[in-house]
Amino acid sequence: MRVRFTKMQGCGNDFVVFDARARAPVLSPARAAAVADRRRGIGCDQVIALEPAGQGADVVMRIRNPDGSEAGACGNATRCVAFLLARETGRRDFVIRTVAGDLPARVLDDGQVRVDMGAPRLDWADIPLSRPMDTLHLPLGAGHLPLGAGHLPLGAGHLPLAAGPAADPAAASMGNPHATFFVADLAAVPVAAIGPVLEQDPLFPDRANIGFAQVLAPDRLRLRVWERGAGLTLACGSGACAALVNAHRRGLVGRAATVELDGGALHIAWRAEDGHVLMTGPAAIAFTGEVELAAAPS
């Protein structure tokens, strides 16, 4: 089956978007993984399918990671979908329905897109965590990794996992679970080595996105995120929202900050009046094309 797609990106976080509102390609886990493969497929951080929405929303957005698993929310993808709908309709305001809830989005005069990501969930059961605890201080870090996990390469030597630079994260859900570590020197953190181990810690029954943030100023953070099911990406919109929320809860920044990611910057604001988190940033179309989807399994 030959299907058209749009390749998009927001701060380097890239997506293959299928319009399934008229004729829905069945994006099974295997098909999504094949499309996301950067050597044998199109290549992307997530595969997006747009489906018809019922009352109260313009479109349903479904998200699959490169390992085929389904994600509940993706801030950068939401901005991309709003940008795509604006080009299609000439409108500026949309409601995008996700597994995690409805997300209002607006295309601004400068072409950037602002998404209302809703209120963060901060209770241990809503993130979710495996047992009751203070979500502002999780008993998790390099020192809690299994003793048999070995050593992490760091510079010219090796850093034992038990003496790692990251500890004591805070947790929040932005439609998907996030743990944010606050570190003094982000460049010294071997994110690609620590991230996949922490993602699957028993503390997270649904796995988790693992963020590492450095406070640069009261209104600026530097962030890298290991995304569950996707790995280290150039940007993570929901991770940037969680980082701002957790940093403010710790008293490290105000209610609004610019979050610098490997692929660009997002402006995040945690609104006091209703507790909603607003994310503003760029979105762009890279190219369009067609792909042959393998026959769906019987």
| Sequential DSSP letters for 234-277 | S--HHHHHHHHHHHHHTTSS-SEEEEEETTEEEEEEE-TTT--E
| Sequential DSSP letters for 32-84 | HHHHH-TTTS---SEEEEEE---TT-SEEEEEE-TTSPEES--HHHHHHHHHH
**Beta pairing partners, 61:** 50
The active-site residue out of 11, 80, 236, 241 is 236
Structure tokens at 218: 């009261």
Specify whether 241 is catalytic: no
Asked if 90 and 249 touch (Cβ cutoff 8 Å), the reply is: no
Specify whether 11 is catalytic: no
The active-site residue out of 44, 74, 80, 241 is 74
Q: What DSSP designation does 93 have? A: E
Residues 6+ apart with CB under 8 A from 22: none
Cα separations in angstroms, 27 against 32, 33, 36, 208, 290: 6, 9, 11, 23, 15
Residues belonging to the active site: 74, 236
